[in-house]
């Protein structure tokens, strides 16, 4: 596996319970036929790209979500891309063995957002799910920057 620099495990949720993401998107990732959705964006407060753990709750109208780690993400401004966030996402997806990536931002934030679909994905990715097992092995259970 290639060596990546400038990507590290973030502080525990108790220390940083809430993060505001700018130039954000929501990506659906597939590992071993298991799908999960993650916030990808730029954390202006810490000046870093960010990839969240699995999204378990999302309020499209408030643009706010909770991830498996328990961290709350507030999506600020318009969706978009940021070079730091894209670098972090590329490293993360390579380390996790992601085989398929789909940008689901539009469907998640518009009126056709399907909460049942997010709940289904969350249940499928329970702590015994494939993606979580892979993340545990790679020590990526929490968010990455």
pLDDT tens for 45-62 read 989 999 999 999 999 989
Asked if the structure places residue 145 within a domain, the reply is: no
Asked if the structure places residue 132 within a domain, the reply is: yes
- Residue bearing the bigger pLDDT, 145 or 63: 63
Q: What is the pLDDT of residue 11?
A: 83
**121 band by pLDDT with thresholds 50, 70 and 90:** low
Q: What is the pLDDT of residue 113?
A: 47
Asked if the structure places residue 57 within a domain, the reply is: yes
Asked if the structure places residue 8 within a domain, the reply is: no
Number of structural domains (the chain) is 1
Asked if the structure places residue 12 within a domain, the reply is: no
Asked if the structure places residue 82 within a domain, the reply is: yes
Closest C-alpha among 52, 137, 28, 40 to residue 87: 40
CA-to-CA distance for 84 and 117, rounded, in angstroms? 29
Average pLDDT over residues 4-22: 84
Asked if the structure places residue 108 within a domain, the reply is: yes
pTM, rounded to two decimals: 0.75
Q: What is the pLDDT of residue 138?
A: 41
Domain hosting 126: range is 18-138
Please provide the average confidence, as pLDDT, over all residues in the chain: 79
Closest C-alpha among 48, 53, 55, 50 to residue 40: 50
């Amino acid at each position: 596996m290639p060596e990546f620099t400038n990507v590290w495990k973030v502080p525990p949720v108790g220390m940083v319970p809430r993060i505001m993401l700018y130039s954000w998107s929501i990506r659906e990732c597939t590992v071993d036929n298991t799908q999960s959705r993650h916030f990808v964006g730029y954390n202006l407060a810490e000046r870093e790209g960010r990839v969240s753990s699995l999204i378990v709750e999302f309020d499209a109208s408030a643009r706010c979500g909770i991830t498996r780690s328990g961290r709350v993400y507030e999506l600020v401004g318009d969706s978009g891309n940021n070079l730091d966030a894209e670098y972090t996402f590329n490293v993360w997806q390579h380390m996790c063995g992601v085989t398929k990536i789909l940008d689901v931002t539009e469907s998640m934030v518009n009126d056709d957002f399907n909460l049942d679909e997010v709940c289904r994905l969350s249940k499928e990715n329970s702590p015994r799910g494939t993606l979580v097992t892979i993340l545990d092995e790679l020590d990526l259970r929490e968010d990455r920057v």
